[in-house]
Structure 1
Amino acid sequence: MGCVKLFEDYLPKRPYHTDDLTNGLKINKKEKAKLARLIQPNGPTHRYWMVFDLDRTDAGMHWDTVGAPPPNLIARNPANGHAHLLYLLQTPVRTAIDGKTAPLRYAAAIEAGLRSLLGADRGYSGLICKNPINSHWIVHEWQADPYTLDDLADYVDLTPEKAKQNAVEEYGLGRNCMLFDELRAWAYKAIRQGWPDYNQWLNACLHRATGYNINFTTPLDMSEVKHTAKSVAKWTHRNFNRGTFDDYVARTHTSRIQAIRGKKGGKANGKTKREQGIAMLQSGASVQQIINKLQVTKKTVYNWKKST
């Protein structure tokens, strides 16, 4: 199945879309929205695609120049060469509060690293992108298979363990992490101040989340903010009461300590896995030797071979 077909399959049920941003965004069922030039690629609960906005005339091949992974799809403007680069994730990252936070942080750090490597627009919100289904754009499919997060991590200057532990910058998925962290930290304390009923609590969480969001340089779409607020409100109201709160805090603290333990890896002698792998290829090492030593996938090594 081609990536354009997967793009269509993974569209939200009612995505934002438009033919012209000056006319604003509309919401319609997928069957109608998919005909527009610009469309929302990801819903509020799952991230299937990492999308980067390159405002340069050589955007279609710039990824190769800087040693970035081949995009699954590129949708390029025929008038000026500007493009959106789309990377498909093998396992979508759940951005809702009930998802695991470690994959979200890991994905956010990788996304920020790729943005820096590509020199992509920091102000791009990621809400909508050039629609590869629409014939207005020049569309190329460079990579047929979806990427794992570890595949993409091989191209950026970070270790998986460090990315899972550390805070990430205010960009893309990083905003989801920051909104989660700030809203949950507030909610864990605020719900104890009177133990409000659910509707009062939901309104309070939404008000607080909206306040955090407007402080972002590029705010999240309100649908994501509302979903996050509803998830936090629902989860905390269901799980927190006077009898269970102290026990929950103790268990969560222990789980976090366990989650950040493990082997160190990813960099050696100041080099990323990609740099090490290319050096090994140039010295005559086999693909299997590189896989065994660096613990990467065969697809990653073959992508490195293309760049040498």
Structure 2
Amino acid sequence: MSSVATSPTSSTPPQHAGSWEEQPRPDDAFQRQRLRDHHRLTRFDAGVTKHHCARTSDDPRNYPFIQINAADWKNFVVVDVDHADAYERILYPGIPRPDWIITNPANGHAQAGWVLDTVFTGEKSAPGPALFYRAVATALTNAVGGDHHFTCHIVRNPFADAPTGPVEFSSRTTPWRLGELKAHLTGWTDPALAALGYDDDQPAMWNPYPPQRVRHERTLTAGSPTAGRNCHVFYRTRSALWRLADRGQDIQSASYEIAHRLNDDLGSPLGPREVDGIAASAIRQVKKGNGRPATTDGPTNPWLARLGAAGGRARTAPKITAAQQNLAAARRIREHASRRRAQQAWRLRRAGEVVAAIAEALKVSTRTVKRYLAAARIQHRLKTLAWVARGGDTHQASGVSAPPLAWVKRLPRPLLRALLTLQDLAQAPPGSPTRVE
């Protein structure tokens, strides 16, 4: 994901004061441009319907349905409300005012979205932000009675030139922080109930836990906490079709039966037409040769057997042994190189070099240099303790000019206990099995 170079909008953000009801509403053109600038995806999935999307780098305003978030960056939270009174649910005062609401004119269903300060949830991210994002998204979905199976990948495009329904923007011009959304959900109280003294009956808007049925279905039935119903039915159907194709059986008629059977096992099944489309897509993928399983739990797969005989994915005993030996050799090489760098770092530090200069000389980070130096100090102290335990001179061993008692007092407690243990072993009677010679 990277920033998209977009032409600056001609309008300037208005200066707001007070609540959003009292603020002048910015024009829709400004809000669409603001959302588009915050989108910041150069390649994304988009299409004219949510079932016919493809990867593109075209102008995102040309597509009614669009991928709203990147794989490892979360710029938006979007909820999908499949109720006829979705608009009233979203505008309930206990819900933070969404940045946009798109209503489906056919049935009254709606999608609402909040613009966020970008949250990094990639592979090397800290777990806290990703978990906080999921908790806030789940709490918003619970508060409006939204669809927990909605994956927030393909949504109705709020900044499209031809959106799928009426779009209503809020007057907010700055992104939300996750803490702000949580604070609104946890701190809001119904003034009517408060005036009547019914504080115990206040609605609990903050609920970051999905229903038990959804948690069970996503972790046990769908096989992944991030897999939606469509992906679950599609991948399972395609895997089953590959098993039939390897045995030479007809997949055309079996695909629809398998897809509908998998859909019936879901807690909230998909529509029949949508399942038929998934089954047809699975047939096309198998005929193109895509998605063939790399392993099998059933009888021997002829295709995998031929691949193994040719030296491909076969897992024979000699190959497993060779792989283990290669991993062990690579680990020894890495450990040796790490020890050599640690020794160089310690020598440079003793020569008076600063941490930044050592990191630049060794081509490592300053954090790694600090780790090397901390380990070297521990090794140096252990060698000093062993020397003292054998009767050596403390001044000579430590290189300090302070009296021995002052030096011992500055030792950490674990090292002091180790020193006392070594001294006891050194003072054991001659011939004792515990004496240190």
If the length of structure 1 is used for normalisation, what is the TM-score? 0.51
> Could you give the per-residue CA deviations for residues 201-254 of structure 1, whole angstroms, max 9, x where no partner exists?
xxxxxxxxxxx99512651799xxxxxxxxxxxxxx9xxx6588xx99xx9xxx
Q: Is the 8 A contact 2:96 2:185 kept in 1?
A: no
| Percentage identity across paired residues of the two chains | 21
Match of 2:151 among 116, 125, 131: 125
Q: Is the 8 A contact 1:3 1:73 kept in 2?
A: no
User: What residue is the counterpart of 1:138 in the other structure?
Assistant: 166
User: What residue is the counterpart of 1:215 in the other structure?
Assistant: 223
Determine if the alignment matches structure 1 residue 26 to structure 2 residue 54.
yes
Query: Could you tell me how far apart the structure 1 residues matched to 2:74 and 2:221 are?
Result: 19
Q: Which amino acid counterpart does residue 150 of structure 1 have in structure 2?
A: G
User: What residue is the counterpart of 2:103 in the other structure?
Assistant: 76
> How far off its partner does 1:64 sit?
2.6
Query: Could you tell me how far apart the structure 1 residues matched to 2:139 and 2:159 are?
Result: 28
Q: Is the 8 A contact 2:50 2:155 kept in 1?
A: no
Determine if the alignment matches structure 1 residue 92 to structure 2 residue 118.
yes
Q: Is the 8 A contact 1:53 1:84 kept in 2?
A: yes
Q: Is the 8 A contact 1:11 1:40 kept in 2?
A: no
Determine if the alignment matches structure 1 residue 147 to structure 2 residue 176.
yes
Distance 1:213 1:11, change over 3 A: farther
Q: Is the 8 A contact 2:50 2:154 kept in 1?
A: no
Which runs of no fewer than 5 residues in structure 1 stay unpaired?
159-166, 180-211, 223-236, 252-308
User: What residue is the counterpart of 1:42 in the other structure?
Assistant: 69
Query: Could you tell me how far apart the structure 1 residues matched to 2:131 and 2:209 are?
Result: 7
> How far off its partner does 1:65 sit?
2.6
Query: Could you tell me how far apart the structure 1 residues matched to 2:167 and 2:129 are?
Result: 30
Q: Which amino acid counterpart does residue 223 of structure 2 have in structure 1?
A: N
User: What residue is the counterpart of 1:17 in the other structure?
Assistant: 46
Aligned pairs for 1:186-201 within 5 A: none
Q: Which amino acid counterpart does residue 97 of structure 1 have in structure 2?
A: E
User: What residue is the counterpart of 2:86 in the other structure?
Assistant: 59
Counting matched residue pairs gives 182
Runs of 4+ in 1 over 6 A off after TM superposition: none
If the length of structure 2 is used for normalisation, what is the TM-score? 0.37
Q: Which amino acid counterpart does residue 176 of structure 2 have in structure 1?
A: Y
Q: Which amino acid counterpart does residue 104 of structure 1 have in structure 2?
A: A
Distance 1:45 1:55, change over 3 A: same
Query: Could you tell me how far apart the structure 1 residues matched to 2:91 and 2:113 are?
Result: 14
Query: Could you tell me how far apart the structure 1 residues matched to 2:170 and 2:82 are?
Result: 19
> How far off its partner does 1:109 sit?
1.2
- Higher RCO (CA 8 Å, separation ≥ 6 residues): 1
Please tell me the root mean square deviation across aligned C-alpha atoms, in Å. 3.7
Q: Which amino acid counterpart does residue 154 of structure 2 have in structure 1?
A: I
Larger Rg: 2
Which runs of no fewer than 5 residues in structure 2 stay unpaired?
1-12, 14-29, 188-207, 232-329, 339-366, 372-437
> How far off its partner does 1:43 sit?
1.0
Q: Is the 8 A contact 1:66 1:117 kept in 2?
A: no
